[in-house]
A and B are shown apart, each in its own frame.
Chain A
Amino acid sequence: MATLDILIFPDDNLRTVAKAVKTVDEGVRSLVDDMFETMYDAPGVGLAATQVNVHQRVVVIDVSENKDQPLTLINPEIISLEGEAQGEEGCLSIPGIYENVKRAEKIKFSALDRDGNPYEMDAEGLLSVCVQHEVDHLDGKMFVDYLSALKRRRIKKKMLKHEKPDRQR
Chain B
Amino acid sequence: MADNSTNPRLTAVRILTSVVADGKSLGDLLRAAQESLDTRNAALLQELTYGVARWSYRLEALLQPLQKKPLRNKDTDIKILLWMALYEILYMRTPDYAAVDSYTGLTLKLRKRWAKGFLNATLREFLRQRDTLVEQVDNNAVTRHSLPQWLYKFVVTDWPQQAESVFIAQNERGPLVLRVNSLQSTRDNYQRLLEKQTLLSRPAQLGNTSLILESNERVTALPGFAEGLFSVQDSAAQLAALLLDPQPGEHVLDACAAPGGKTGHLLELQPGITLTAVDNEPSRLARVEENLARLKLTAECKCADGTDVTQWWDNKPFDAILLDAPCSALGVLRRHPDIRLLRRESDIKALAKQQLALLRALWSTLKPGGRLIYVTCSVLKQENEQSIEKFLTVTEDAKERVIDAEWGQACQHGRQILPGQYDSDGFYYAILVKNQA
Contact = CB atoms under 8 A, between A and B. Distances in A.
A47 B1 CA distance: 6
For B2, B4, B339, which residue has the most chain A Cβ atoms within 10 angstroms? B2
Contacts of A168: 25, 329, 336, 339, 342
A166 B2 contact: no
Contact of A88 (B4, B282, B329, B342): B4
B111 interface: yes
A45 B109 contact: no
Given A44-B2, A166-B24, A66 B342 contact: no
B1 A90 contact: yes
B138 to A, nearest CB: 29
A18 B368 CA distance: 65
B314 interface: no
Given A161-B282, A167-B281, A133 B1 contact: yes
Contacts of B108: 66-68
Interface string A13-49: 0000000000000000000000000001011111100
Nearest to B377: A169
Nearest to A130: B1
B14 interface: yes
Contacts of B216: none
Contacts of A58: none
For B4, B339, B377, which residue has the most chain A Cβ atoms within 10 angstroms? B4
Contact of A164 (B36, B109, B281, B329): B281
Given A98-B36, A168-B339, A169-B329, A92 B109 contact: no
B3 A45 contact: yes
Nearest to B280: A167
Contacts of A96: 32
A98 B284 contact: no
A43 B3 contact: yes
B134 to A, nearest CB: 31
For A46, A68, A166, which residue has the most chain B Cβ atoms within 10 angstroms? A166
Contacts of A161: 282-283
Contacts of A95: 2
A52 interface: no
B28 interface: yes
Interface string B1-17: 11110000000001000
Contacts of B109: 65-67
A66 B2 CA distance: 15
A95 B24 CA distance: 14
B284 to A, nearest CB: 7
A40 B2 CA distance: 10
A89 interface: yes
A40 B281 contact: no
B418 to A, nearest CB: 19
A80 to B, nearest CB: 21
Contacts of B281: 164, 167
21 contacts: A43-B110, A44-B2, A45-B3, A66-B108, A66-B109, A67-B108, A67-B109, A89-B2, A92-B2, A98-B2, A98-B4, A98-B36, A129-B1, A130-B1, A133-B1, A164-B283, A166-B24, A166-B25, A166-B28, A167-B281, A169-B329
Interface of A: 40, 42-47, 65-68, 88-92, 94-96, 98, 129-130, 133-134, 161-162, 164, 166-169
Given A65-B109, A167-B284, A169-B327, 17 more contacts: A40-B111, A44-B1, A45-B2, A45-B3, A66-B109, A67-B110, A67-B111, A89-B1, A90-B1, A90-B4, A96-B32, A161-B283, A164-B283, A167-B326, A168-B25, A168-B336, A169-B329
Ranked 9 nearest A-B pairs via Cβ: A90-B2, A46-B1, A67-B111, A66-B108, A133-B1, A161-B283, A166-B25, A40-B111, A168-B25
